Each structure stands twice: as structure tokens, then as C-alpha cells.
Amino acid sequence: MPANTIEHNRTRQNFEGVSSIWLFGYGSLIYKVDFPFLEQRPATIHGWERRFWQGSHDHRGTPEAPGRVVTLIESPGAACKGMAYRVSPTVFEHLDVREKNGYLRFATTMTFEDGGECEGLVYIATQDNEAFLGHAPDAEIARQIAGAAGPSGPNSEYLLRLADSLRALGDACPHTFAIETHLRSDAERDT
Ligand code: SIN
């Protein structure tokens, strides 16, 4: 899978006759809402875990010093909370560019807080994409994030804003919070 997924995503779903579709966001799509939406609802997807295993060479890092951003890893029994948006399919023209560094649109089922379910889409960067970095110890991920920045800003801002958003949503994501703790204590130690 090439690092740039724009063309690939354009061929993945047929939006003919579709006026709106639900999109599930679990990373920056929770807090950086730079696209129009018709409706917004907290939601959960099951069988997936959030992981800082995707490299960011274009937004929160550079090709020389990539940052780390989240993707989803299959994990039976797990649940991942995020924000669902009902959007016009035209929104994907913008989002496919924003998520171009390895993310593909997949169909998913999301569950709303009232128990209702809905089919929609989610961007996932799978292990076969060129920017995938994979597992590393939490402390090492925190150090990499602390040292990375790109056109969208410091990688630490991505992590801290995501952690705050997950607290607001009530998502106990031990992976994100452990990396946040490392990042904050390293910063304190270095001051
Ligand atoms: C998402 O937020 O749903 C995808 C990953 C990201 O853009 O951070």
C-alpha cells in the first residue's frame, strides 16, 4: 500500500445516490472538525483498539523525523469510543487529502450511546501501509512524539488534545493515557 492513499480511497465506495453517511472518528477527527457535518453523536466501535502505531510524515512530523498518530488495530472484545458525524459524501474530497498518509476508508458498524446501531465509514491505517511504524514501548512512543512536529503543529499537541477529548467522551484508553503520562513527566523532568 503506497503512503499516499488519495487515489485508492476514491475507488473504494460508491456514493452514487447517497445523500449522507456516518463517519466514525477516533483520533484527530474527534477534536479537529475542519469539515461540515449534518449531525454529531458520540459512538463506539467494537473489536478495535486505538494505537499510536502510524507514522506521520505530513502533519505531525516530517519524512526525516516522523511523528506518531493513531490507527485502529483489530482486537476481539475491545471497544473504542469516538465521535460519529453524519456527513455529505462530498466531505471525503477533503478528508481523503487530510488522511492521505496511509489511511483507507473501511465500512464499520458503530453503536450510539442509546444503543442504536448504524453502518458507516472509518479511516484505518493498516499494517501494510508504508508509514506504519507498529508497536514500541509507551515511553519510547512518548519520546518520539515529544521530538516531532510538522505542518499541522507539534505531535505533542495531537496527543494532548486527543487525551483531553477522550476524557470528555469518557473513553478509558489506557494506551493513550500511559503515553500522555510519560510525555508530561519527561517534560517536567526536563524543566
Ligand atoms: C481519525 O481521527 O478517525 C483518524 C486518525 C486521525 O486523523 O487522527
Domain ranges across the chain: 6-190
Residue 1 confidence (pLDDT) above 70: no
Read off the C-alpha cell for 88.
455529505
Distance CA 78, CA 38 (A): 29
Residue 11 confidence (pLDDT) above 90: no
Domain 6-190: which CATH number of 3.10.490.10, 3.40.718.10, 3.40.50.300, 3.50.50.60: 3.10.490.10
Pocket test of ligand 1: the residue of 22, 28, 72, 110 to mutate, having most ligand atoms within 8 Å of its CB, is 28
Q: What is the pLDDT of residue 164?
A: 98
Q: What is the pLDDT of residue 189?
A: 87
Residue 183 confidence (pLDDT) above 90: yes
**By mean pLDDT, which of 15-19, 104-108, 134-138, 165-169 is the weakest?**
15-19
Q: What is the pLDDT of residue 14?
A: 87
- Over the range 9-19, which residues count as b (16 or more CB within 10 Å of their CB) and which as e? beeeeeeeeee
Residue 39 confidence (pLDDT) above 70: yes
Q: What is the pLDDT of residue 43?
A: 98
% of the chain residues with pLDDT over 70: 98
Ligand 1 atom 4, closest CA: 27
Instruction: Compute, in angstroms, the gap from residue 66 CA to the centroid of ligand 1.
Output: 16
Instruction: Compute, in angstroms, the gap from residue 181 CA to the centroid of ligand 1.
Output: 21
Distance CA 136, CA 130 (A): 17
Q: How does residue 2 score in pLDDT terms, banded at 50, 70 and 90?
A: low
Residue range 41-50: mean pLDDT, rounded: 98
Residue 123 near ligand 1, beta carbon < 6 Å: yes
| CA–CA distances in Å: residue 163 to residues 90, 93, 120 | 29, 28, 24
Residue 99 confidence (pLDDT) above 70: yes
Residue range 126-152: mean pLDDT, rounded: 96
- Give the nearest ligand 1 atom to 162 CA: 8
